[in-house]
Structure 1
Amino acid sequence: RDPFMNYHSKFNEVTRMFLNEKEIEVLFAKDFKNERLSLVRDIFLFSCFTGLAYIDTQKLTHQNINLGLDGSQWIYTKRQKTKTTSNIPLLSQTEKIIEKYKNHPVCLNSGKLLPILSNQKMNAYLKEIADLCGINKELTYHIARHTFATTITLSNGVSIESVSKMLGHKSIKTTQHYAKILDKKVSEDMMELKQKFSDKKKIAISC
């Protein structure tokens, strides 16, 4: 007999942490006197606006940047974890960060797109950055990927199919777990629904 016949596993969904728009604005606006903190902040924000994990950001070179079908610059890469293709259009925020570090000694010597530190150092500095910016969250590099999926894309109307493709997910189910729909998006959708009902009511009254 199968000893696991009557066994049912339980799955507890983890609430994924991410930054909201206000926290992102605070990060952008903060003037760090420490050059290392400024660099870590910029690379973290780069991932917030591309959805790339630490290892995928670390291995980027200028050869990964090419013109897309729309004539703008895109990142073309493969995810280290899943080996899936991840093609991401560059937003103005990421283009400015790339431009800022194109002549950095580390980038010139290594050919890397950004002068990224070790994951351990990045996370250590991010905790310090969170304290200095008054962000009451345990800031880690992986939060950048969650932020891209939620605050940057889904809450601004980007389809979950497009988000899934940019994140390099093999299944859209993974994206559904990754990307929590924000209350803001729910509110906007319901306001649109209310407007539709209101328009229908006006038509019914006029008839």
Structure 2
Amino acid sequence: MIGHNLTERELEQIENTYYNNDRLERIKDCFIFSCYTGLSYVDVKELTLNQITIGIDATHWIFTKREKTNGRVNIPILPQAMAIIDKYRDASEKKENSLLLPLCSNQKANSYLKEISKDCGIHKNVTFHVARHTFATTVMLSNGVPIETVSKLLGHTKLSTTQLYARVVETKISEDIQNLLIRFETKKKKAMEVLEG
């Protein structure tokens, strides 16, 4: 469902929450990784170290195929995602299957995300799918990344699919401007009251 994304503040709240409990810390890390790469649950779960390579700009990229569409997707790795790769790299190198991140079933992951969002005071139904929406809207579009680029990063075959995310951003801008106008109006009324008082 479009519109289910975290705000910048909510994303920071989750990022800045640390767990001694390995299970919650791992899910939190995998979720944050998805928020900064746009990869879906299954694509994060299947990610291996050999899909991480040096890109055209001499920085780390993820070169993978989307499970859902089988389409190729190449994603430059943002520092927040790189920190998570580095955190789990040693453990991944020791495993025979070479899967990079320690992800349990989607159902369990979503149940742990409920716990995490409750701990952070976030009153939204936070599931793994929310991470992909957060990447598109909060991380990319809200920071001025062009929709065509976001579309490529998400592995969308049609730009119209990505435009749904842009509508979320426009709706948010509209709400923010409406709130601004209300604040202007309130200030104006107070100024008038002072003058009349």
The TM-score, its normalising length taken from structure 1, stands at: 0.79
Q: Secondary structure at the match of 1:30?
A: coil
CA displacement, residues 126-166 of structure 1 (integer Å, 9 cap, x when unaligned): 00111111011011000000000000000001000000000
Q: Secondary structure at the match of 2:50?
A: helix
- 1-side partners of 2:174 and 2:151: how far apart? 18
2:103 aligns with 116
Higher deviation after alignment, 100-109 or 90-99? 100-109
Larger Rg: 1
Task: List aligned pairs for 1:20-39, cutoff 5 A.
Answer: 20-39=7-26
Unaligned runs of 5+ in 2: 178-197
CA displacement, residues 18-62 of structure 1 (integer Å, 9 cap, x when unaligned): 001101111111122311101100000000000000111111101
Whichever residue aligns with residue 58 of structure 1, its letter is: K
- 1-side partners of 2:63 and 2:174: how far apart? 29
Q: Is the 8 A contact 2:51 2:64 kept in 1?
A: yes
Give percent identity, aligned residues only: 47
- For the aligned residue pairs, the C-alpha RMSD in angstroms reads 2.0
Whichever residue aligns with residue 181 of structure 1, its letter is: V
Whichever residue aligns with residue 169 of structure 1, its letter is: H
- 2-side partners of 1:55 and 1:185: how far apart? 34
Please state how far the C-alpha of 1:103 moved relative to its aligned partner: 2.0
Whichever residue aligns with residue 51 of structure 2, its letter is: N
- 2-side partners of 1:94 and 1:67: how far apart? 15
The answer as to 2:71 corresponding to 1:84 is: yes
- Runs (4+) of structure 1 moved beyond 4 Å? 184-188
- 2-side partners of 1:120 and 1:36: how far apart? 14
Q: Is the 8 A contact 1:104 1:115 kept in 2?
A: no
1:195 aligns with none
Cα distance change, pair 107–57 in 1 and its aligned pair in 2 (3 A): farther
Q: Secondary structure at the match of 2:116?
A: helix
- 1-side partners of 2:5 and 2:149: how far apart? 19
Which of 178, 181, 184 is the equivalent residue of 2:169? 181
- 2-side partners of 1:26 and 1:107: how far apart? 32
Greater length-normalized contact order (CA 8 Å, ≥ 6 residues apart): 2
1:157 aligns with 144
Q: Is the 8 A contact 2:2 2:165 kept in 1?
A: no
The answer as to 2:45 corresponding to 1:58 is: yes
Unaligned runs of 5+ in 1: 1-13, 189-207
2:194 aligns with none
The answer as to 2:114 corresponding to 1:127 is: yes
Q: Is the 8 A contact 2:92 2:101 kept in 1?
A: no
Q: Is the 8 A contact 1:155 1:185 kept in 2?
A: no
The TM-score, its normalising length taken from structure 2, stands at: 0.83
- 1-side partners of 2:169 and 2:13: how far apart? 22
| Number of residue pairs aligned between Structure 1 and Structure 2 | 175
Which of 58, 65, 69 is the equivalent residue of 2:56? 69
Please state how far the C-alpha of 1:178 moved relative to its aligned partner: 3.4
